[in-house]
Structure 1
């Protein structure tokens, strides 16, 4: 386990080539001055002596990318290879729940394709639908030179709450994906009952190339992150899965409706967009206060976490974090006067203090097991190597971030979960890619 900061930074730097798929393609841009962590009140770091550990819940997965708890003591774990497993708390032997591996593109190595998200309807089990996001081979509406198709579907579960029926699939969204990477994939229900869907910019480097459209910003070519009219890429979407479009007066043949207060309803743009300007929002979650947190993977210099608001533009590919991307200067608003929203958290790929290569979003902690974490945002870098990150809220500017040692978990952290009591689950793996069976799920505890 690497806990020495210098050793860890060297390990992260040596892993950059391996992580080219997840963290992005390299460019000639040099990282700018790193953002150093500092206590919010100017005093001592309250987490300087904090150590965490993982209490094993289940193991034997390949690459666990989602852990959801629709009912107390029942944890559903989505494996990137296409399987969803049910873990009854206290029983470390997972049970099969649904397998969609026969609907996926071929997976190998370090990949961002596969089964990427799962969430149950808020009224489960009265509403027995489970929603699944996966990468399918190209479908009929996918251009010939595109990589694959983004699919969002729902399935029905058995009446007794057992396995889901693989033949009950209802497709909600199909989005053509030009490249194999930057697929995001997190799905979650908000306090408003609507389904939020994270969508990456379509892959490649710099939000450019095949499948990337022109936008308003001339300093860099492309891209989908700054466009809301041509496609649904580079955004977080919001849809109503409880009403068909026809029932909502939409006159569309689709299995969802558009919330009336989505920001582009009646304006220029596709109505599904809720917020945009994202590169690869890898994991998102709602806090107990209703705020939506999304971690956006940077290209080769900075990682960021955003608090997502309706109609917000989060800057990609004008900016990477708070820094101009591939330009000496850049605007802080669009030509229409809409601001480019700053992240709440930023850390560099190389530099002093907290650093890493690819952010993994977590949760605003509201459990009781670790009192010192109350009200903090707990997250990680994908190549965690024995550390998790804790960000403390401040009224303005970037939130200070502390790296906290964590014992008994694997070196890679693809996702977090939260149980019914508000305690955090950490999904880890010993392998960087989709191979082996070293994936495991832990409940976070004080060491």
Structure 2
């Protein structure tokens, strides 16, 4: 079940599938081998669940550093609560059509109280920051009110500096009338 499609700045299209596969379409044909198979890490529920591999973004300097980012839900190892994980991976140094799955660097992880409303979109802005749609954490009508709570990551668009260029974000936490917060 495809949920996203991205381009790495070349002729390839990368198709993100909910179950945990990233596939490549090149020259109009689907390649026979996955770019990445994350099914051993991803929890993708059936039915109406909005879980799984939900987003993909390529670093603005992907052609040089080979970094790409994914948003997926997981409850692994078995018995652990459902969480969203934002991770960075690298492309294989030997094959541009394969990810190096051993390169995973988890950037952030946060709990998901329900199996729906989990967001998932990732996008780099013109400022070089990675923007993450966190979703409100679920169930009909956002019963926990996460979208309105400034101290909760759910129900927000998160912005992170994946290059850690320093300088930090502006201190907006005490701005008068602010409708946002930087925890």
TM-score for the superposition, normalised by structure 2: 0.87
Pair 1:189–1:262, CA change in 2 (3 A) = farther
Distance 2:12 2:30 in 1: 12
Query: What number of residue pairs does the alignment pair up?
Result: 178
1:158 aligns with 2:110: no
SS at match of 1:225: helix
Pair 1:200–1:101, CA change in 2 (3 A) = same
* Residues 376-422 of structure 1, C-alpha deviations (whole Å, 9 max, x = no match): xxxxxxxxxxxxxxxxxxxxxxxxxxxxxxxxxxxxxxxxxxxxxxx
Q: Which has the higher contact order (CA 8 A, sep 6+)?
A: 1
1:294-333 mapped onto 2 (5 Å cutoff): none
Pair 1:66–1:236, CA change in 2 (3 A) = same
1:242 aligns with 2:163: yes
Distance 1:106 1:67 in 2: 18
Instruction: State the 1:263 CA deviation.
Output: 4.6
Q: CA RMSD in A?
A: 2.4
The unaligned stretches of length 5 or more in structure 1 are: 1-62, 213-222, 250-258, 273-447
SS at match of 1:96: coil
The unaligned stretches of length 5 or more in structure 2 are: none
Instruction: State the 1:173 CA deviation.
Output: 1.0
1:271 aligns with 2:179: no
The answer to whether the 8 Å contact 1:82/1:99 transfers is yes
Q: After the TM superposition, which of the residue ranges 153-162 and 111-120 deviates more from structure 2?
A: 153-162
Give the 4+ runs in structure 1 shifted more than 6 A.
none
Q: Which residue in the other structure is 1:81 paired with? A: 19
Distance 2:58 2:30 in 1: 22
Pair 1:270–1:103, CA change in 2 (3 A) = farther
Instruction: State the 1:248 CA deviation.
Output: 3.2
Q: Which residue in the other structure is 2:104 paired with? A: 169
Pair 1:193–1:106, CA change in 2 (3 A) = closer
Distance 2:26 2:134 in 1: 31
Instruction: State the 1:205 CA deviation.
Output: 2.2
1:118 aligns with 2:56: yes
1:40-439 mapped onto 2 (5 Å cutoff): 63-137=1-75, 148-159=82-93, 160-208=95-143, 212=144, 223-229=145-151, 231-243=152-164, 248=166, 259-261=168-170, 263-264=172-173, 270-271=181-182
Distance 1:83 1:138 in 2: 17
The answer to whether the 8 Å contact 1:232/1:270 transfers is no
The answer to whether the 8 Å contact 2:41/2:76 transfers is no
* Residues 158-188 of structure 1, C-alpha deviations (whole Å, 9 max, x = no match): 1242311111100011011111110010000
Pair 1:176–1:126, CA change in 2 (3 A) = same
The answer to whether the 8 Å contact 2:122/2:132 transfers is yes
Q: Which residue in the other structure is 1:342 paired with? A: none
Pair 1:77–1:94, CA change in 2 (3 A) = farther
Q: Which has the larger radius of gyration?
A: 1
